[in-house]
Amino acid sequence: MKSGSAIADLPIGNAMSNAATRYLTNLPSSEDNNYYKAFCPPQVLSQPGTIYNRARQPISTWADAVAGIAFGGLVPLAGTQLIQAVRFTVSGGEGLGRGNELLERIINVVDEQTAKWLPGLHLFGRQQVSFGSLYRSTLLIDFYLSETDYDVRNVVWRLDRYSTLIERLTAAYQGEGIDDATTRSKEVYERTCYEIQLYFNQALGRHNNQRPGPRGLSPREKSTQYNLNSFFQGGGRGGHETNTGDRASPPSEIGPVEQSEGSSVDNDLQGVLNLLSQDPADRPLTAAHVAKVARCIIMMWTYIVGVMVWEKEDEEDAHGDALSPSRYKPVPFGDLPDVSAWR
């Protein structure tokens, strides 16, 4: 991911084998598994991380896949490499800043506004009323995550609130002629895809500028690259001129990533918080604003999601990356009780 390589959705070379894939293969309902492969394409990409299908056609991008996390992929546990790859993609090479605090304040504003619209409705639970009282007080509130915040049950609770926030903002933003939920969700997702692609490109630029020099490919990587390049050039069909094109030009409401002072997470969330505190008629909420919140939520996810330790290397990789201190090892299949089930 850090090289911006293209991705192939097809089996190339030897099957990928590690503790995670073997566990997946041994699941009772497991079918033939396929894994994405990164490669250096023989063509110039319109977007880094373009995903190709078996027919040699560009079908999506890595940024699109990451954007989907905010719309149904906020799981409480994930592998180290996935967490690191997602954070690299959405961060633009920057830190979280005050992301936790600002997300909580946005949730509080949305909850209070919803309660005024429909008294008695507590989108984020009744305890949000107590949180709101704290926010209005002059007390100094500590927004740092404690050890218990990383427990699975608390992570699930927090991620559920984030999902509700995205749903509520999606329903509330003002779009011309957009009334149905499906169209609104699609527009917000597409804006989020573009937003993340911007920060992915920024992260790639920073990473490439910091690297001391090119790294040599391992024999397995060389074999994979050769097979993939041969696949795209061969088969009697010649090279394929790639052009993802779906989001080649930015939506009108989103410009290039602003290089302002402070964390981009702080700037984006503070901007949305200020907007929500104003009269909607003066400065309406748009799909672009919801997309910014979605990106920041994915960023926050990489800091609180529990880390699955499949192998010793996973534990070593997790150190020094500000990942969740919670570590979970999968239960061996041999330790599970015998269960019978019928349909």
Tokens describing residue 79: 């592998």
> Is 126 contained in some domain?
yes
Is the per-residue pLDDT at 245 higher than 60? no
Cβ burial of 177 (10 Å; 0-12, 13-18, 19+) is exposed
**Residue 328 bridge partners (DSSP):** 308
Query: Ranked by mean pLDDT, which of 167-171, 238-242, 312-316 comes out on top?
Result: 167-171
Q: Are 56 and 240 in contact, with CB atoms under 8 Å apart?
A: yes
> Is 320 contained in some domain?
yes
> Is 313 contained in some domain?
yes
pLDDT in tens, 117-171: 888 888 888 777 777 666 666 555 666 777 778 899 999 999 999 999 999 999 9
| Residue span of the structural domain in which 133 resides | 6-335
Domain count, the chain: 1
Does residue 326 or residue 222 have the better pLDDT? 326
> Is 154 contained in some domain?
yes
> Is 244 contained in some domain?
yes
> Is 40 contained in some domain?
yes
Does residue 62 or residue 41 have the better pLDDT? 62
Is the per-residue pLDDT at 46 higher than 70? no
Taking residues 50-76, report their average pLDDT: 90
Is the per-residue pLDDT at 10 higher than 70? no
In angstroms, the Cα distances linking 290 to 67, 185, 193 are 12, 10, 12
pLDDT in tens, 255-300: 344 444 568 999 999 999 999 988 766 778 999 999 999 999 999 9
Q: Are 296 and 192 in contact, with CB atoms under 8 Å apart?
A: no
> Is 276 contained in some domain?
yes
In angstroms, the Cα distances linking 128 to 8, 107, 110, 154, 160 are 45, 9, 11, 15, 13
In this prediction, residue 235 carries a pLDDT of 42
> Is 340 contained in some domain?
no
pTM above 0.75, yes or no: yes
In this prediction, residue 336 carries a pLDDT of 75
- Reduce the DSSP state of residue 306 to 3 states and report it: strand
The residue with tokens 């009697």 is: 236
